[in-house]
């Protein structure tokens, strides 16, 4: 422990609480007397290569607390996916600055980066402790009960559907809301928590864990519409056909891919518009509206779960404790230890890196278009306190005349 320098960075898509983890690292690290400096890298691994470091040790604790409550990545993020050579560059910079602890807050792509950097350090006999701190609204990290960022995004989706359902009840028709989630349907499934009364929407939920068949979709929308005179549908942007081809990319003119080879699904309203066009033309329903929740669901300021905030802070703190008191690299995981309580564990990087969790079968209803009570029990405590609740006028009909 010669230099006493630690480095923290943030990768991948922002969340409402990712800065809680950053601040958790910064404040907890300074409680260790061997830590002299806490550096932050601007824009993830890209900022390491470019040596764009800021000294978080010179921040005030007040401003850190304010930043912790601000959504999106305060240090900036990146979509760069480091290969072998990129990781060697990262390692070179860390060594030059005598960084001894590397904390990377991100999803499964970021955990893979931590894994490669960790291996590179071992290969070179450089004493670098590498810890992956989980973050993703997709909730798709294996080994965790859930991931920081997911609860707040889930709360946004549940509140959005609670409102969309009220809107749709007021002006009946079909409403399709498209939710983020490439492979895992957790966030789309969260729409179910927006229901209160038995006939509340979303009435149909389409997840990437199930094959999407357009004919079935239309028949299910029609059945609901015939029954209730309206229909609210939650659709994951990641829905795909039997061959695994995303429905969104079946119609996109120019498919855009990121450095990870992922097709761009967000930031376009194409999927919602396609599904609405099909409903209008095939079912002859006039009032059909589609919304794509887009970036609002991960960055909206002012919709956050207090449970999520607390846990995101704790994974940052625990990462530092695992690094300082443990003797191995790893990925911090949240474990449910009560109803509702959590504990934290350090998993092997290999157990998490690059792997994707999807919704377990017992969370999805047998008909494939709804969630189970097990999912509702799983998600409800994560949404936190003060969830707004809709109320209805009770029925007191007035007799018609004549």
Catalytic site positions:
138
- Choose between 97 and 183: whose C-beta lies nearer to a copy of itself: 97
CA dihedral 247, 244, 154, 172 (to 10 degrees): 30
Span of 243-251, 338-346, 355-363, 382-390 interacting with a copy of itself by CB under 8 A:
382-390
Span of 111-119, 203-211, 296-304, 371-379 interacting with a copy of itself by CB under 8 A:
296-304
Exactly one of 29, 49, 56, 275 binds a copy of itself (CB under 8 A); which one?
56
> Applying CB under 8 A, does 302 fall inside the site for a copy of itself?
yes
Q: Tell me the H-state helices in 177-267.
A: 186-189, 214-228, 247-251
- We find the least distance from the C-beta atom of residue 228 to a copy of itself, in angstroms, to be 13
Exactly one of 90, 131, 288, 382 binds a copy of itself (CB under 8 A); which one?
288
CA distance 6 to 131: 11
Exactly one of 61, 63, 122, 337 binds a copy of itself (CB under 8 A); which one?
63
- We find the least distance from the C-beta atom of residue 277 to a copy of itself, in angstroms, to be 8
Segment 149 to 178, residues that bind a copy of itself, using CB under 8 A: 159-160, 162-164, 166-167, 169-171, 175
Report the run of H or E that residue 46 belongs to, with start and end.
Answer: helix 44-49
- We find the least distance from the C-beta atom of residue 402 to a copy of itself, in angstroms, to be 7
CA distance 165 to 170: 9
> Applying CB under 8 A, does 267 fall inside the site for a copy of itself?
yes
Q: Tell me the H-state helices in 97-175.
A: 108-123, 150-170
Exactly one of 269, 335, 360, 362 binds a copy of itself (CB under 8 A); which one?
269
Segment 7 to 46, residues that bind a copy of itself, using CB under 8 A: 10, 13-14, 39-40, 43
Query: Do the beta carbons of residue 275 and residue 258 sit within 8 Å?
Result: no
Structure-block tokens of residue 82: 């480091």
Environment class of 27 (CB within 10 Å of its CB; exposed 0-12, middle 13-18, buried 19+): buried
CA distance 131 to 352: 12
CA distance 139 to 316: 17
Structure-block tokens of residue 75: 């240090």
> Applying CB under 8 A, does 270 fall inside the site for a copy of itself?
yes
- We find the least distance from the C-beta atom of residue 343 to a copy of itself, in angstroms, to be 30
- We find the least distance from the C-beta atom of residue 305 to a copy of itself, in angstroms, to be 12
> Applying CB under 8 A, does 136 fall inside the site for a copy of itself?
no
Report the run of H or E that residue 26 belongs to, with start and end.
Answer: helix 18-29
Exactly one of 71, 149, 208, 384 binds a copy of itself (CB under 8 A); which one?
71
């Amino acid at each position: 422990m010669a230099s006493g320098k630690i480095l923290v960075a943030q990768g991948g898509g922002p969340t409402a609480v990712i800065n809680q983890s950053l601040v958790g690292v910064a404040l907890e690290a300074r409680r260790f007397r061997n830590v002299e400096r806490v550096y932050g890298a601007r824009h993830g691994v890209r900022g390491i290569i470019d040596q764009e470091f800021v000294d978080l040790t010179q921040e005030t604790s007040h401003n850190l607390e304010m930043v912790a409550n601000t959504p999106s990545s305060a240090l900036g993020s990146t979509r760069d996916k480091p290969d072998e050579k990129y990781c060697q560059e990262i390692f070179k910079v860390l060594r030059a600055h005598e960084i001894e602890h590397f904390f990377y807050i991100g999803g499964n792509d970021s955990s893979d980066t931590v894994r490669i950097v960790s291996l590179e350090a071992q290969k070179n006999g450089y004493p670098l402790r590498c810890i992956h701190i989980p973050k993703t609204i997709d909730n798709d990290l294996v080994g965790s009960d859930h991931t920081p960022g997911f609860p707040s995004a889930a709360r946004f989706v549940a509140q959005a559907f609670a409102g969309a359902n009220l809107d749709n009840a007021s002006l009946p028709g079909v409403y399709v809301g498209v939710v983020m989630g490439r492979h895992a349907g957790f966030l789309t499934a969260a729409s179910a928590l927006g229901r209160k009364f038995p006939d509340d929407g979303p009435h149909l939920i389409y997840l990437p864990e199930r094959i999407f068949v357009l004919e079935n979709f239309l028949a299910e929308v029609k059945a609901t519409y015939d029954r209730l005179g309206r229909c609210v549908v939650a659709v994951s942007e990641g829905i795909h056909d039997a061959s695994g081809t995303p429905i969104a990319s079946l119609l996109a003119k120019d498919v855009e891919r990121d450095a990870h080879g992922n097709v761009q699904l967000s930031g376009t309203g194409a999927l919602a518009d396609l599904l609405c066009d099909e409903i209008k033309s095939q079912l002859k329903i006039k009032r059909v509206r589609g919304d794509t929740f887009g970036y609002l669901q991960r960055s909206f300021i002012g919709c956050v779960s207090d449970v999520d905030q607390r846990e995101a802070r704790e994974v940052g703190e625990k990462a530092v404790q695992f690094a300082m008191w443990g003797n191995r690299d790893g990925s911090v995981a949240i474990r449910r230890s009560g109803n509702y309580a959590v504990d934290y564990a350090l998993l092997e990087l290999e157990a998490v890196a690059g792997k994707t969790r999807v919704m377990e079968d017992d969370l999805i209803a047998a008909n494939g278009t709804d969630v189970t009570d097990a999912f509702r029990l799983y998600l409800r405590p994560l949404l936190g306190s003060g969830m707004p609740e809709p109320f209805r006028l009770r029925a007191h009909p007035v007799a018609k005349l004549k």
